[in-house]
Amino acid sequence: MKKRVMLTLSCLFLSIGFIVAQTTKASGTVVDDNGEPVISASVVVKGTTVGTVTDLDGKFSINVPDGKNTLVFTLVGMKSVEAKAASNMNIVMENDDHILSDVVVTGYGTFKKSSFTGSASSLTTDKIKDVPVVSVADKLAGAVSGVTVTSTSGQPGGAESVRIRGMGSINAGNNPLYVVDGVPIQSGNSSEFTYADSGASLLSTISSSDIESITVIKDAAAASLYGSRAANGVIVITTKQGVAGKTRVNLKADWGFSNFAIDYRPTLGGQERRDLLYAGLVNLKTNAGQSDAQAKTFANSEIDKYAAMPATGWVDWKDLLLRNGSRANYEANIQGGNDKTKFFASLGYTDQEGVSIQSGFERYSGRVNVTHKAERFFIEASTMISSAKQTLSNEGTSFASPIMAVYGIGSSPSYYPYDKDGNYTRVGAPLNSNPLESAKLNYNKNKTTRSLSNISVAYDLGAGFNIRERLSYDFIDTRENIWWDPRSNDGRTAGGVHQIVDGERTTLGTQTQLTYIQTFNKLHNVDALVAFETEDFKYSYLYTSGTGFPTYKLPELINASVTSAESNINRSRQASYLGRVNYDYASKYYLGISLRTDGLSRLSSDNRWGTFWSLSGSWRLSQENFWQGSTLANLFSDAKVRASYGTNGTRPDAFYDYFGVYKYGYKYDGVSGSAEARQANPNLKWEKNFATNIGLDLSFKDILTLTFDWYNRDTEDLLYDVNVSQVTGFETRLANIGKMRNRGFEVELKSNNIMKSDFSWTTSLNLAHNKNEVLKLDDSEEGQYINGARITKVGHPLYAYYAYEYAGVDPATGKESFYINGADNSRETTTDQTKANKTIIGSYNPDITGGLTNFITWKGFDLGFTFTFSLGGDLYDYATWLQSNGGARNYNAQVPAYYKLEDMWQKAGDNAKLPQYVFGNINVQSSRWMMSSDHLRLKNLTFGYTLPTKVVRKAYMEKVRLYASGSNIFTWKSKDTYLDPESRVDGLVTFETPTLRSFTFGIEIGF
């Protein structure tokens, strides 16, 4: 029977034949001198080629041929051990080198960092576990080089943007692939509504306290195995597993508060605003030739229409719509097990109140991870269930957005939200809507329930072969409710509006993997894998809405007088074949090859199969005789060079875009009409990435390690929703349009400054430089796409800003002036922007980003903090309504504090900082509204104290720790930057909730 199995398998492999001899079995566990399991140590029967490696728990099992009885255990960075073969062996390997013991988990194998040929950064979450942020992604900030974490909004539970090595796509798909315990998962925004820009992050359903480690894969060597989804990198998350031994219980609780991290969009107070608007009215008339006295008479008669003081005094809308946020977090976990079975189980509860009076986030989460070993079977099962409730306030340019109300165009110090009887009023409201009424009466809720289950069965076929089947099922149920109370402005006419979307996302994944790990002649180490995978994703939703509610007290649709509904199902499938071989010779020379073919339903059958591959290698110079004999060995304890090249891809976000279709639902006269919705695009294909990475790892005397990587990432066949001529009747078409390059380098420096048992101090610094450049558009080197204040143009980075170039105030007229930027490159200026040409004025992309982290422990105290910084990028204030120096919104809404009356032009000849403020002015999009995003931010800080074990044991406890932690604590930036420097990733900022500063105080108890 066994022979036949092998014959079948050899169809998959390139004919690997061998003979299975008569054997006895040896097994056991390998641990290091701290008692921690040693992973992927090579176990070889001395004098043979028979070998295996230890698993994640340091366990091994090997068939020892008759006549042999010695096992040799080797691992890079550890001293080799020889021992007599037996069952239940206990092997202790001593560390040879503390620093190189990092583990890289790629999802398709676990490697010692020293043997890894690609570029990846790992971090264990232990040291950042206390930082008060909701999302896993936020914890990455500053910790890993080349990774930028931003969010569109500071509302708790909002969708995050993570960029690894710049932006490889123009379309939405710039986020990395997230893999949890080997299974690619759904991430991104689940919200169907756009009233709030923050969206609902699917990643926020995962409790970060259940996470053991995070590996960020940046280059092609390991990422190519993920093929069509890996173009933007892969974030591999490993959850906590049980440890054999005593059953341990941990409890943790913390409480905190939050506010804005910066002084966001300061506005003028009531009187200052009135003075400014008054001056603008006077200027209107004096500019038209009236005398000062005439102009003042006019202004006196007009000013109260725009800036009267309410009977109750000037109104501070911040007090009405914003507050200090709060936070409470409780976690409990229990873990333990024995040789065969281990478990980890946790429960968590988080409750956050956001800074706007409506916003909040509440999450219950639970997880059970179990592993079991039975003879040759190894079973892993994990299940996570979580339920997250998000309440949102509107954002962006929605009329009910509290951020827009307080900082922009929805309120003013002259508008008091109540009338004299104490009822809500819209009299004086700049936008015909009472933001306070909207906030108090209406809601936008989003509940996400997720169950993520994953079971795998591995079977040891012997002789280094292992076969594993994994099934995963990710079930996400979302329910969004938008309620407009019949008493509110939005709900009034309809007698109340209730919209509900019930969404269901399911992903069924299968993975069949065959691995082969063997050592030949003690020198040749082979680690091979072939696999077949499928993924079947389905998204279905039911949208219902009701209007005409007899009472605001009963918002359920059963009470509505009119209801309507809509449903749809979208599906996407992918099938993949993949394989890789890693080979190393004597832990000196390493070689890796990977190949993957993906077939995707979102592309036409001619274009749907994409093949992605990588080649990588490394050379450990420090293992060479010439090195070890030289003085270099005294200085550098380890040295390695790495190189990789490979391809991977990005798939289209849209499910069926290659079809040309008609859609229905265009209703007229009671009939559902049809209309052409999209032209066919059978040529739509994968966006492909070609990534090169060259790296160097150096260790100086076990104290300092340096990792340097240079990379080049070329993306071809960029997918983009191109704006088309609307004369066609369409707005956009999805197409493969060009080529883009990200090139840069990364440096990571880690230093063990002090390593004593009661005093340790480690520092790590990372720096990254990335240059993004569009190389080709529409198969042309001249191509450009302009989209509002943004341009995509060959020779320039993605997200370049396109506007007039501001040339300061014209001394003669007091108007804004602009460089003409005509064909002759002259620096002439004009005050009439229609005579000037728009030009590229800057870009979002920073030149340098990085982080600096320190961890210090002394006796029972621990202190950790991370600074992040960014240099060379720009933000563009896209709240254009406010930028008119006296236009319509400047007269009925909040007025930004950047209008300083004392800095304004007065008379001809003035070299003023600010233009004259005149009623009725128009706004011009110019570089005046661009600002630097350079900043240094104390991203997080945690200070803790662990009570002495002797003391806590008396209370039958193992551990008691008290701590305080904060995030986004201080920000140093230019005072002209009145937007949060870590704003949304396209850099065009309107009225999204800015980044929050949070503090928390907690306690941790272990039994």
Partner 1 sequence: MKMKKIFNILLISSTLIFLVSCGNEWLDLKPNDAVDTEDAISSYEDLVTAKAGMYDGLQGNSSLYGRSYYAGRFIYYGEVRADDMQSVSSGKRSSALYEMRYTVDDAPQIWLRPYDVIRRANNIIKAVDEGKVTTGTADQIGDIYNQALVVRALAHFDLVRVYGKPYDMDNGESYGVPIVLTPIESTDLPARNSVAEVYTQVIKDLTDAINSNKLSKEKSTGYVNVWVAKSLLSRVYLYKGDNENSFKLAEDVIKNSPYTLWTNSEYASAWTKEGTSEMIFELVNFDSDDWSDREFIGYLYNEDGYEDLIVTSAFSKLLNEDPNDVRQQIVLPSVKEANIELYGKDKVWINKLPGRAGAGDFRINNIPVFRLSEVYLNAAEAAFKNNDKKNAATYLLPIVTRANPKTTEVINESNITLERISKERRKELVGEGHRFFDAMRNNEKVVRYTNDDNRGRHYLLTEDAKEFDRTYFRAILPIPIIEVNANSTIAKQQNPDY
What residues between 874 and 893 interact with partner 1 by CB under 8 A?
A: 880, 887-889, 891-893
Interacting residues of 660 by C-beta distance below 8 A, sequence separation 6+: 676, 678, 679, 680, 681
> Closest approach of Cβ 939 to partner 1, in Å?
37
Q: Which of 95, 259, 453, 601 binds partner 1 (CB under 8 A)?
A: 601
Q: Which of 21, 308, 565, 680 binds partner 1 (CB under 8 A)?
A: 680
- Asked whether position 586 contacts partner 1 by CB under 8 A, the answer is no
Going by C-alpha positions, the residue among 415, 552, 417, 423 that lies closest to residue 497 is 552
> Closest approach of Cβ 380 to partner 1, in Å?
17
Site string for partner 1, 10-49 (x = CB under 8 A): ----------------------------------------
Interacting residues of 414 by C-beta distance below 8 A, sequence separation 6+: 270, 273, 274, 306, 307, 308, 309, 310, 314, 315, 428
Nearer to partner 1, 730 or 745 (CB): 730
- What is the DSSP track for 238-297? EE----SEEEEEEEEEEEEEEEESS--S-B--HHHHHHHHHHHHHHHHHHTT--HHHHHH
d(C-alpha 65, C-alpha 69), whole Å:
8
Nearer to partner 1, 636 or 804 (CB): 804
Site string for partner 1, 520-549 (x = CB under 8 A): ------------x-x------------x--
> Closest approach of Cβ 614 to partner 1, in Å?
23
Q: Looking at 251-259, 438-446, 595-603, 740-748, which segment touches partner 1 (CB under 8 A)? A: 595-603
Q: Classify each residue of 734-769 as buried b or exposed e, where b means 16 or more C-beta atoms within 10 Å of its C-beta.
A: bbbbbbbbbbbbbbbbbbbeeeeeeeebbebbbbbb
- Asked whether position 473 contacts partner 1 by CB under 8 A, the answer is no
> Is the Cβ–Cβ distance between 299 and 285 less than 8 Å?
yes
Going by C-alpha positions, the residue among 154, 139, 153, 256 that lies closest to residue 206 is 139
Q: Looking at 141-149, 244-252, 783-791, 896-904, which segment touches partner 1 (CB under 8 A)? A: 783-791
> Closest approach of Cβ 223 to partner 1, in Å?
23
- Asked whether position 513 contacts partner 1 by CB under 8 A, the answer is no
d(C-alpha 437, C-alpha 418), whole Å:
9
What residues between 891 and 930 interact with partner 1 by CB under 8 A?
A: 891-893, 919-920, 922-925
Q: Which of 443, 543, 619, 659 binds partner 1 (CB under 8 A)?
A: 659
> Closest approach of Cβ 608 to partner 1, in Å?
6
Q: Looking at 388-396, 596-604, 709-717, 853-861, which segment touches partner 1 (CB under 8 A)? A: 596-604
- Asked whether position 870 contacts partner 1 by CB under 8 A, the answer is no
Nearer to partner 1, 553 or 667 (CB): 667
Residue the block writes with tokens 């939703």: 541
- What is the DSSP track for 583-631? EEETTTEEEEEEEEEEEETTS-TTT-EEEEEEEEEEE-GGGSHHHHTST
> Is the Cβ–Cβ distance between 586 and 523 less than 8 Å?
yes
What residues between 194 and 213 interact with partner 1 by CB under 8 A?
A: none
Q: Which of 47, 245, 550, 660 binds partner 1 (CB under 8 A)?
A: 660
> Is the Cβ–Cβ distance between 567 and 547 less than 8 Å?
no
> Closest approach of Cβ 377 to partner 1, in Å?
9
Nearer to partner 1, 570 or 974 (CB): 570
d(C-alpha 358, C-alpha 435), whole Å:
11
Going by C-alpha positions, the residue among 723, 772, 644, 665 that lies closest to residue 167 is 772
- Asked whether position 574 contacts partner 1 by CB under 8 A, the answer is yes
Q: Which of 423, 570, 906, 949 binds partner 1 (CB under 8 A)?
A: 570
- Asked whether position 599 contacts partner 1 by CB under 8 A, the answer is yes
d(C-alpha 563, C-alpha 493), whole Å:
15
> Closest approach of Cβ 362 to partner 1, in Å?
32
Fill in the amino acid letter for 403.
Answer: I
Q: Which of 66, 669, 902, 976 binds partner 1 (CB under 8 A)?
A: 669
> Is the Cβ–Cβ distance between 206 and 179 less than 8 Å?
no
What residues between 747 and 766 interact with partner 1 by CB under 8 A?
A: none
Fill in the amino acid letter for 315.
Answer: V
> Is the Cβ–Cβ distance between 967 and 132 less than 8 Å?
yes
**CB-neighbour burial class of residue 956 (10 A; exposed 0-12, middle 13-18, buried 19+):** exposed
Residue the block writes with tokens 């804005």: 260
Going by C-alpha positions, the residue among 741, 930, 871 that lies closest to residue 170 is 741
Interacting residues of 485 by C-beta distance below 8 A, sequence separation 6+: 441, 442, 491, 496, 552, 555
d(C-alpha 790, C-alpha 95), whole Å:
54
Nearer to partner 1, 82 or 676 (CB): 676
Nearer to partner 1, 570 or 630 (CB): 570
- Asked whether position 780 contacts partner 1 by CB under 8 A, the answer is no
Q: Looking at 40-48, 167-175, 246-254, 297-305, which segment touches partner 1 (CB under 8 A)? A: 297-305
d(C-alpha 536, C-alpha 194), whole Å:
27
- Asked whether position 5 contacts partner 1 by CB under 8 A, the answer is yes
> Closest approach of Cβ 921 to partner 1, in Å?
8
Nearer to partner 1, 377 or 759 (CB): 377
Nearer to partner 1, 446 or 574 (CB): 574
- Asked whether position 471 contacts partner 1 by CB under 8 A, the answer is no
Going by C-alpha positions, the residue among 919, 909, 900 that lies closest to residue 812 is 909
| Radius of gyration, alpha carbons of the chain | 31
CB neighbourhood size of 17 (10 A): 8
> Closest approach of Cβ 609 to partner 1, in Å?
8
- Asked whether position 550 contacts partner 1 by CB under 8 A, the answer is no
Helix (H) or strand (E) holding 950: helix 949-954
> Closest approach of Cβ 881 to partner 1, in Å?
9
Structure tokens that stand for 975 in this block? 């005072």
> Closest approach of Cβ 679 to partner 1, in Å?
5
Going by C-alpha positions, the residue among 824, 860, 874 that lies closest to residue 979 is 874
> Closest approach of Cβ 533 to partner 1, in Å?
9
Q: Is 546 helix (H, G, I), strand (E, B) or coil?
A: strand
What residues between 820 and 849 interact with partner 1 by CB under 8 A?
A: 833-834
Q: Looking at 62-70, 147-155, 298-306, 383-391, which segment touches partner 1 (CB under 8 A)? A: 298-306
- Asked whether position 562 contacts partner 1 by CB under 8 A, the answer is yes
- Asked whether position 434 contacts partner 1 by CB under 8 A, the answer is no
For CA atoms 719, 720, 721, 726, the dihedral sign is: negative
What residues between 719 and 748 interact with partner 1 by CB under 8 A?
A: 722-731, 733
What residues between 639 and 658 interact with partner 1 by CB under 8 A?
A: 655-656
Nearer to partner 1, 253 or 840 (CB): 840
d(C-alpha 426, C-alpha 434), whole Å:
5
Binding footprint of partner 1, residue count (CB under 8 A): 94
What residues between 40 and 99 interact with partner 1 by CB under 8 A?
A: none
Nearer to partner 1, 70 or 294 (CB): 294
- Asked whether position 459 contacts partner 1 by CB under 8 A, the answer is yes
Nearer to partner 1, 554 or 565 (CB): 565
Q: Looking at 109-117, 149-157, 567-575, 869-877, which segment touches partner 1 (CB under 8 A)? A: 567-575
> Closest approach of Cβ 488 to partner 1, in Å?
13
> Is the Cβ–Cβ distance between 785 and 761 less than 8 Å?
no
> Closest approach of Cβ 563 to partner 1, in Å?
10
d(C-alpha 801, C-alpha 820), whole Å:
17
